[in-house]
């Protein structure tokens, strides 16, 4: 790698470490805050430096990519590999940019082998993006899945010329691309399983193997079996043919046997994931009942200690409960007897999350958490869905947590000032209009405003690395993906009784008052029954974002007064004039200024308290 590339990577790692280091470690709040600000300063410094490194180093290279030397190209590939190495994602967006550029170059120079290789890597990059879309409707993520699949599909099409391609590496890319065409979500599980089955046939074909004996065939085949077994993660029996089930059963058996063997050799317990696949396929084949399967899952989940932060430990403690919840969602008649177990399970998960080492946080745990957030079942005595989301934000996206709290507090204060003048201002919300007692109505509005603010960004949990770990400005594609946080947040909040009333704020807080800009299209202001509240959240969110996170949005950090003045300038377009009119009142502005300042301090204090509090459960 070139020096600027090494420095960029080092900066990314430093930034990750600084973000992860939020434990008070016995320090006072003042000292904690001081260090937090120092970290923020350091992070911003490194981000600026990274931008300079890309501008001075990478972009000029991409600019003259057609005359880049082989060495430069090799270094560029090495740099990209360090950005996304399969286990860890340091900068998936930049990884895609680089491979897109290399693919364009390969296409223009008509270099077949490079086209295949770059298609493969671009597909990998896009798959990484797709993995963040758990919980989104297929229609919202289909375009991204398709782009990923087409990269692999085109590379896999060269399988026909396998014989004449004498480069083993390229042959390997073709085979791996063929297997990867089954990655991601499909409209039909059967389609996915059919693709994996076809891949297995190809990989097990002795002709192919004989022509490239140096390729790791055993590993390819084993990974494809693994891919097959993961198709059973969610209950899809209505969507699978008997052949599908048989194919999965065979793969599950192979994977299970091998994992048991490997575990025995290492003197470890058999891995949970492989065991679950075997149990699940037995259930699908009618060899055991759902009650038995759930019982076995409970044993597997309980078998891992909550201090086990290995991939299998993460799977047992977060992903398997997500699948467990999914079964209970589909078969609610099994829930009553398992309420207590479920509640205890959630407590373990929270304890696990809260003790999870920041430095170990990676895409794998984020992926499992997305699964859990999607299938979570709320019971009367369980932790609420909202609380789970708050805990996740605190631990994995503390800046998003602080921002959400500040927005909630500011929105609540702003609503109080509005209601002083117009007590019926929020009567567009049915449940508010029905409250006849003015004090009760006011209290409810303020509580709603706080909660709407606190939850408006929960969708960011799907894109933690994008929001919290992207150590540069976003590319356009990343903006597009980040916009999905509104849709995913709204979908999650509306799926649970305790958070349903805040879903509109999550969906609409980036919309424009006049509908000319903003997103998502799914939010139609005039059709929203609580648009005034959504407008308030949107305004407070915009002001707070203007004062912070400016690097992400490519503008200078604004003062509070500047942010307010800019909001007024957008009156009638971005913001409701009914709200911005109030920002012309100095008293209102001064009160808001205080709330934004104190809110930030309070939210940081809450973060400090949560992180400083002793964790009650240290084992399962």
Partner 1 sequence: MEAIKGYLLIEYSECASPKILYADSNACAITGLSGEALSAADARQAVRGIDTAQIALDAAHELWILDCSQERYNAAFDRISQENRDLRDALRAAQEENLAKSSFLSSMSHDIRTPMNAIMGMTAIGLSHIDEKSRVLDCLQKIQSASNHLMSLVNDVLDMSRIASGRMSLNDEAFSLADMVHDISIIVRPQAAQKRQDLQMEIGQIYAESLIGDPLRLRQILVNIIGNAVKYTQEEGRIRVSLAQHLGEAQAADNPANEQIWLDFLCEDNGVGMSPDFLERIFVPFERVNTAAVSRIEGTGLGMSIVKNLLDRMGGRITVESEEGKGSRFCVSIPFHTALQEDRPLPEGTVLLAESLDGRAQQILDCFRDSGMETVHISSGMAAVTWLTEAQYENRMPRVLLLGQELSDMPVLEVAAHVRQLAGREFPIIWVAEIDWAQTEYRASRAGVNAFVPCPLFKSRLLSTISELTCGSQEGLDTATGQEADYSEYRLLLVEDNELNREIAMELLSLTGIQVDEAENGQRAVEAFERSPEGYYDLIFMDIQMPVLNGYEAAKKIRRLPRKDAESVWIVAMTANAFVEDIRLSKEAGMNEHCSKPVEMERLHDILRRRLKP
Q: Given the rule CB under 8 A, which of 75-83, 103-111, 251-259, 605-613 is the region that contacts partner 1?
A: 103-111
- For residue 360, the 8-state DSSP code is G
CB 4 within 8 A of CB 81: no
30 lines the binding site for partner 1 (CB under 8 A):
no
| Cβ contacts of 270-276, under 8 Å, gap ≥ 24 | 271/312, 272/300, 272/301, 272/303, 272/304, 272/312, 272/315, 272/316, 272/320, 273/229, 273/312, 273/315, 273/319, 274/229, 275/300, 276/300, 276/320, 276/323
Residues β-bridged to residue 84: 89
Q: Which is nearer to partner 1, 165 or 388 (CB)?
A: 165
Tokens of 357: 């080492």
Shortest approach of partner 1 to residue 527 CB, angstroms?
10
**Residue 142 interacts with partner 1 (CB under 8 A): yes or no:** yes
- Choose between 515 and 529: whose C-beta lies nearer to partner 1: 515
Instruction: Give the C-alpha separation, 376 to 61, whole Å.
Output: 47
- CA dist 126 and 147 (Å) reads 7
Site string for partner 1, 198-237 (x = CB under 8 A): ----------------------------------------
* Among positions 158, 220, 356, 385, the unique one binding partner 1 when judged by CB under 8 A: 158
The answer to whether residue 143 forms part of the interface with partner 1 (CB under 8 A) is yes
Q: Indicate whether 586 belongs to the interface with partner 1 (CB under 8 A).
A: no
Q: How many residues bind partner 1 (CB under 8 A)?
A: 58
Q: Between residues 438 and 529, which has the closer beta carbon with respect to partner 1?
A: 529
Does position 525 interact with partner 1 (CB under 8 A)? The reply is: yes
Q: For partner 1, give the closer residue by CB, 50 or 373.
A: 50
Residues 288-327 that bind partner 1 (CB under 8 A): none
Cβ-contact 509, 534 below 8 angstroms:
yes
Judged by CB, which is closer to partner 1: 216, or 572? Answer: 572
- The answer to whether 104 contacts partner 1 (rule: CB under 8 A) is yes
Return d(Cα 405, Cα 13) in angstroms, integer. Answer: 28
Among 1, 6, 35, 153, binds partner 1 (CB under 8 A): 153
Nearest distance in Å: CB 368, partner 1: 27
CB of 571 to partner 1, least distance (A): 9
Task: Verify binding: residue 154, partner 1, rule CB under 8 A.
Answer: yes
In sequence order, the 6+-apart residues with CB closer than 8 A to the CB of 553 are 545
Binding part of the chain for partner 1, among 144-152, 237-245, 379-387, 605-613 by CB under 8 A, reads: 144-152
Q: Is 190 in the site for partner 1 (CB under 8 A)?
A: no
Q: Which of 268, 372, 265 is nearest to 314 (CA)?
A: 372
Q: What are phi and psi of 555, to 5 degrees?
A: -135, 165
Q: Sketch the per residue contact string, 110 through 129, with partner 1: x for CB under 8 A, - otherwise.
A: --x-----------------
As a residue count, the chain comes to: 620
Task: Using the rule CB under 8 A, give the single segment among 145-153, 205-213, 292-300, 433-441 that binds partner 1.
Answer: 145-153
Q: Is the peptide bond before 42 cis (omega within 30 degrees of 0)?
A: no
Report residue 581 as tokens.
Answer: 């009119």
Which of these segments, 12-20, 143-151, 388-396, 429-437, binds partner 1 (CB under 8 A)? Answer: 143-151
User: Can residue 582 be called a binding residue for partner 1 (CB under 8 A)?
Assistant: no
**Applying CB under 8 A, does 138 fall inside the site for partner 1?**
no
Among 41, 42, 85, 191, indicate the residue that binds partner 1 (CB under 8 A): 191
- Asked if 77 is part of the footprint of partner 1 (rule: CB under 8 A), the reply reads no
> With binding defined as CB under 8 A, does residue 41 bind partner 1?
no
CB 473, min distance to partner 1, A: 4
DSSP states of 392-416: HHHHH-HHHHHHHHHHHHHHHHHHH
How far CA 184 is from CA of 45, 127, 133, 194, 330, in Å, comes to 37, 7, 10, 14, 22
Of the candidate spans 5-13, 19-27, 55-63, 73-81, the one that interacts with partner 1 by CB under 8 A turns out to be 55-63
Contact 529, 429 (CB under 8 A): yes
| DSSP label at residue 318 | I
Say how many Å lie between the first and final Cα of the chain, rounded.
44
> Least separation, in Å, of the C-beta of 529 and partner 1?
15
Secondary structure element (H or E) that encloses residue 5, with its range: helix 3-20
| The pair of three-digit structure tokens given for residue 324, joined into one six-digit string | 């467990």
Which residue among 8, 324, 513, 608 contacts partner 1 (CB under 8 A)? 513
63 makes contact with partner 1 (CB under 8 A): yes
- Which one, of 335, 313, 333, lies nearest residue 324 by Cα? 335
Taking CB under 8 A as the criterion, the residue among 150, 288, 419, 612 binding partner 1 is: 150
Tell me if 517 contacts partner 1 by CB under 8 A: no
Residue 573 touches partner 1, criterion: CB under 8 A: yes
The minimum distance between CB 145 and partner 1, in angstroms, equals 8
DSSP for 374-390, written as a single string: HH----TTSPPHHHHHH
Shortest Cβ 553–partner 1 spacing (Å): 8
Nearest to 48 by CA among 466, 472, 467: 472
Q: Which residues bind partner 1 (CB under 8 A)?
A: 51, 55, 58-67, 97, 101, 103-105, 107-108, 112, 142-143, 145-147, 149-151, 153-154, 156-158, 160-161, 181, 187, 191, 472-476, 479, 513-515, 525-526, 553-555, 572-573, 576-578, 581
């Amino acid at each position: 790698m070139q020096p600027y590339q090494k420095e960029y990577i080092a900066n990314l790692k430093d930034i990750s470490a600084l973000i992860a280091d939020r434990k008070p470690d016995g320090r006072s709040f003042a000292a904690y805050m001081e260090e937090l600000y120092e970290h923020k300063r350091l992070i911003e410094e490194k981000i600026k430096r990274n931008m300079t490194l890309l501008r001075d180093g990478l972009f000029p290279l991409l600019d003259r990519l057609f005359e880049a030397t082989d060495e430069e190209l090799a270094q560029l590939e090495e740099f990209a590999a360090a950005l996304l190495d399969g286990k860890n994602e340091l900068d998936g967006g930049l990884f895609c940019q680089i491979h897109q550029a290399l693919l364009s170059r390969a296409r223009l120079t008509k270099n077949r082998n490079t086209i295949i290789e770059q298609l493969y890597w671009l597909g990998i990059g896009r798959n990484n993006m797709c993995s963040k879309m758990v919980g989104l409707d297929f229609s919202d993520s289909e375009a991204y899945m398709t782009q990923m699949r087409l990269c692999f599909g085109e590379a896999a099409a060269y399988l026909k010329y396998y014989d004449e391609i004498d480069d083993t590496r390229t042959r390997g890319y073709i085979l791996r691309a063929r297997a990867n065409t089954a990655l991601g979500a499909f409209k039909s599980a059967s389609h996915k399983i059919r693709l994996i089955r076809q891949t297995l046939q190809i990989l097990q074909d002795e002709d192919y193997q004989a022509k490239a004996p140096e390729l790791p065939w055993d590993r390819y085949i084993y990974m494809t079996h693994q891919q097959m077994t993961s198709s059973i993660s969610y209950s899809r029996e209505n969507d699978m043919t008997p052949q599908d089930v048989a194919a999965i059963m065979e793969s599950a058996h192979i994977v299970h046997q091998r994992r048991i063997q490997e575990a025995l050799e290492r003197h470890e317990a058999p891995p949970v994931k492989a065991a679950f696949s075997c149990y699940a396929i037995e259930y699908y084949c009618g060899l055991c009942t759902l009650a038995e399967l759930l019982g076995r899952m409970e044993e597997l989940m309980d078998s891992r200690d909550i201090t086990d932060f290995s991939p299998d430990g993460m799977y047992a403690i977060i992903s398997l409960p997500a699948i467990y919840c999914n079964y209970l969602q589909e078969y609610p008649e099994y829930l009553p007897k398992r309420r207590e177990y479920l509640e205890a399970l959630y407590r373990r998960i929270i304890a696990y999350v809260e003790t999870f080492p920041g430095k170990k946080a990676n895409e794998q745990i984020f992926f499992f958490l997305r699964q859990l957030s999607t299938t979570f079942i709320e019971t009367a005595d369980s932790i609420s869905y909202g609380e789970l989301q708050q805990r996740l934000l605190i631990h994995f996206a503390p800046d998003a947590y602080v921002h959400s709290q500040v927005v909630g507090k500011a929105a609540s204060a702003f609503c109080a000032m509005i209601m002083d003048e117009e007590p019926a201002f929020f009567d567009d919300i049915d449940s508010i209009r029905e409250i006849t007692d003015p004090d009760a109505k006011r209290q409810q509005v303020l509580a709603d405003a706080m909660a709407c603010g606190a939850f408006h960004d929960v969708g960011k949990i799907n894109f933690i690395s994008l929001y919290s770990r992207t150590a540069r400005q976003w590319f356009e594609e990343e903006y597009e993906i980040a916009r999905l946080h509104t849709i995913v947040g709204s979908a999650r909040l509306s799926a649970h009784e305790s958070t349903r009333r805040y879903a509109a704020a999550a969906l609409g807080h980036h919309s424009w008052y006049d509908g000319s800009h903003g997103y998502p299209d799914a939010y139609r202001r005039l059709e929203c029954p609580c648009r005034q509240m959504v407008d308030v959240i949107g305004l407070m969110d915009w002001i707070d974002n203007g004062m912070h996170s400016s690097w992400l949005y490519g503008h200078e950090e604004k003062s509070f007064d500047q942010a307010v003045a800019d909001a007024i300038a957008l009156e009638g377009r971005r913001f409701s004039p009914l709200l911005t009119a109030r920002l012309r009142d100095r008293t209102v502005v001064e009160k808001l200024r205080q709330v934004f300042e104190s809110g930030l301090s309070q939210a940081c204090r809450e973060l400090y308290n949560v992180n400083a509090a002793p964790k009650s459960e240290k084992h399962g």
